[in-house]
Chains A and B, each alone.
Chain A
Amino acid sequence: MTDRIRVGDVASIGPDDPELVTVDGTRVAVVSYDDEYYAIENTCLHQCGPVSQGRIKGALSGEWSDPGDRVEESFDESHPAIACPLHGWEYDLRTGEHLGDDDLALATYPVVIEDGVAYLEP
C-alpha cells in the first residue's frame, strides 16, 4: 500500500501545467481541465511519448440520424481526453482508456483536494 502522495498546490496545476509525480516507479501526470483534476500515467503506450504535454479537450463524438445525412461532429466536454503529442494516441482522462481501443489503457489515480493542495491516492 502506497501512502497518499502530495502533488502540489492546485493553483499551479492546469491543462497546460501538469504536475509530475512518481507512483511505485510510474511517472504520473496530474492535470486539471474544466475545474476537475485528473491523474494519468504519463508514458504513452504507443512509443513512450510524454502524454502530459498533449492537448486536453472533450472527445470528438459523431451523431448520425438518417441515411444520407451528414455525421454531426462535436466535442463532448463531459468526456475529457488527452492526446499524446507524438502521434495523437488519445486517452480518456477519467479511465485512461484509449478512445479507439479500450483494451489499451494508461493507469489512472484518484485525486483528492484538501486545503488547496492536490494529493494522489494510489
Chain B
Amino acid sequence: MTTRLIDLDVHFHESLSTLSEYFDEPWRTRLQEGGTYAEFGFGPGGGSGDRGVGGRVKREQDGERGDVVDTSYPNAGMTPEEIPDGMEYLGVDQCLVLSHKLLGAGSYVADDERLGQLAKGSAEYMLDHVLDPSAGIYSALPVPYSDVDASLDLIERLGTEEAFRGIYMVTGGAEPPLGNRKYEPIYELAEEMGLPVVFHTGGSGLDSYHTKGYSKFIETHTLGFLESNMSQLTSLLIQGIPEKFPDLKMVFLESGVFWVGALGQRLDTEYLKRQSEAPLLEQRPSDYIRDRFYFGTQPIENPRNPDHMEAAIEMLGGADSLMYASDYPHWDFDRPQSITDLEFLSDAEKERIMWRNAAEVFDL
C-alpha cells in the first residue's frame, strides 16, 4: 500500500425526505406534505436495470453482511456514519463525497428549478451532517448547471467552505454539452476561486437515457457511462475550454482508463483534417488531454495483458494524470488494491495515483 490514501469518488445517497428541509418554498412543503407521490415524482429516478446482477452483488443490499461493509444504499437514504465506515473499510485517509442524487442531473429537463433545489439541498445537508474536514471527509459542490445563475449563486455562497474542494458537474445528459458557452461563467468563477471541476459521468438505464432499448444492463452501463464522458470531454476540448481558462483544473471520473487514449486518437485524427473548426486550440486534442485533464481510476479494466494497461495509462498522461477513485458504495466500486497491485507502476507512481495528485489538485 501507499503512505497515504485519498479517494476521489465516494457517494452519499441522500433521501429526499432529509434534503427537503433545505429546499426553498414551495418545494419544501410540496415534498414534506405531498407524501409518496411527491417524492416519487420529484425526479427521474435511478434508471431501470438491475445493478445487483440478480442478487449476485450482495454488498449493497440491506441485511447482507460478510467481510464487507454493508450500506443502506440503494434501498434507503444513507446515514452519515456510513461514510467513515466505508473509509475505514477501504483504508482511506481523505475522500471527496459526491452527491448520489445529483447523478441524474442531466435528466432534470422539464424545468430548471428542481435541480437547483436538489443541489442546494444536498450541499447544505452535507455540510451540516456528512462533511467533516477534521476527519478527512470533503466534497465537491454540486452544480445545477441547467440554471447558470443558480449555479453561480451556489458556488459564490458555499464554494469557500473548507469542506468543498471543487465543484461537481454530472456529464450524463448534459445538453447542450458542457463546452457550450452558456456554462463559461461557471468555469470562470471556479477558476477565480481556485476550485477544480469534477466531471462525473452518469447515464444508464434500460428504458431511458441516450440509447433506449438495450435488453441487458451490461449493455447500457458499459456504454452509457462511457458515452457521457466522451461527449463532454470532446465538447470541452473542441470549444477551447482549456485555452479559455488556463488555470482551471479538470478531472473526469468513472469510465476507467482505456477510453481516454482512444478518444484522444480519434480527436487528433479529426483535428488534423478539421482544425479550422477548433480555432482556439494551439495543439492536438490529445496533448490537452495529457496536459490539462486528470482522470479517476475507477472502474479499472482487467486486461489479460498488463502491457495494454500500461499503454492506456501512458496515453492519458501517465501516473501524473491519474487519481484513485473507489466509487464506494456503488455496485462496481474498486478497492485500492486494484491499482497498488499493478506491477508495472513504480512506488513513486503509485504514490502519485493514490494520493499525491489529488492532494495537489484539491489542496488536501
Residues in A lying within 8 Å of B, measured CB to CB: 46, 59-62, 64, 67-71, 73, 87-90, 98-101, 104
Residues of B within 8 A of A98 (CB): 272
Cβ-defined contact, A67 with B184, below 8 A? yes
Residues of A within 8 A of B280 (CB): 62, 64, 71
Residues of B within 8 A of A70 (CB): 181
Cβ-defined contact, B272 with A101, below 8 A? yes
Residues of A within 8 A of B273 (CB): 87-89
Considering only residues 181-213 of chain B, those with a C-beta below 8 Å from chain A are 181-182, 184-185, 187-188
Cβ-defined contact, B279 with A101, below 8 A? no
Cβ-defined contact, B276 with A71, below 8 A? no
In chain A, what residue has the closest Cβ to B185? A67
Partner of A101, one of B184, B188, B276, B283: B283
Query: Any chain A CB within 8 A of the CB of B308?
Result: no
Interface size on B, residues (CB 8 A): 21
Residues of A within 8 A of B289 (CB): none
In chain A, what residue has the closest Cβ to B243? A64
Residues of B within 8 A of A61 (CB): 279
Cβ-defined contact, A60 with B276, below 8 A? yes
Q: A73 vs B182: C-alpha distance in the bound complex, in angstroms?
A: 18
Residues of A within 8 A of B181 (CB): 67-70
Query: Any chain A CB within 8 A of the CB of B271?
Result: yes
Known: A73-B279, A100-B281, A100-B284. A64 touches B244 (CB 8 A): yes
Smallest Cβ distance from B148 to chain A, in angstroms? 9
Known: A68-B181, A71-B279, A101-B283. A88 touches B274 (CB 8 A): yes
Number of CB contacts from chain A to chain B under 8 A = 48
Residue of B182, B185, B272, B284 most packed against chain A (CB within 10 A): B272
Interface flags, B265-298, vs A, CB<8A=1, else 0: 0000001111110011101100000000000000
In chain A, what residue has the closest Cβ to B239? A71
Query: Any chain A CB within 8 A of the CB of B116?
Result: no
Main secondary structure of the interface of B (DSSP, over half): helix
Main secondary structure of the interface of A (DSSP, over half): loop
Cβ-defined contact, A100 with B275, below 8 A? yes
Smallest Cβ distance from B281 to chain A, in angstroms? 7
Known: A67-B187, A67-B188, A68-B185. A99 touches B275 (CB 8 A): yes
Query: Any chain A CB within 8 A of the CB of B240?
Result: yes
Q: A101 vs B284: C-alpha distance in the bound complex, in angstroms?
A: 7
Q: A104 vs B188: C-alpha distance in the bound complex, in angstroms?
A: 34
Interface contacts beyond A59-B276, A100-B271, A100-B275: sample of 18 additional A-B pairs, CB < 8 Å, sorted by A: A64-B240, A67-B181, A67-B184, A67-B185, A67-B187, A67-B188, A67-B244, A68-B184, A69-B181, A71-B280, A87-B273, A88-B273, A88-B274, A90-B276, A99-B276, A100-B272, A101-B272, A101-B283
Sampled A-B contacts (17; CB under 8 Å): A46-B272, A60-B279, A62-B240, A64-B280, A67-B181, A67-B184, A67-B188, A68-B184, A69-B181, A71-B240, A89-B272, A89-B273, A90-B275, A99-B275, A100-B271, A100-B281, A100-B284
Interface flags, B153-189, vs A, CB<8A=1, else 0: 0000000000000000000000000000110110110
Smallest Cβ distance from B286 to chain A, in angstroms? 10
In chain B, what residue has the closest Cβ to A70? B181
Q: A64 vs B278: C-alpha distance in the bound complex, in angstroms?
A: 12
Smallest Cβ distance from B146 to chain A, in angstroms? 16
Q: A46 vs B273: C-alpha distance in the bound complex, in angstroms?
A: 9
Residues of B within 8 A of A71 (CB): 239-240, 279-280
Smallest Cβ distance from A109 to chain B, in angstroms? 24
Residues of A within 8 A of B283 (CB): 101
Smallest Cβ distance from A80 to chain B, in angstroms? 14
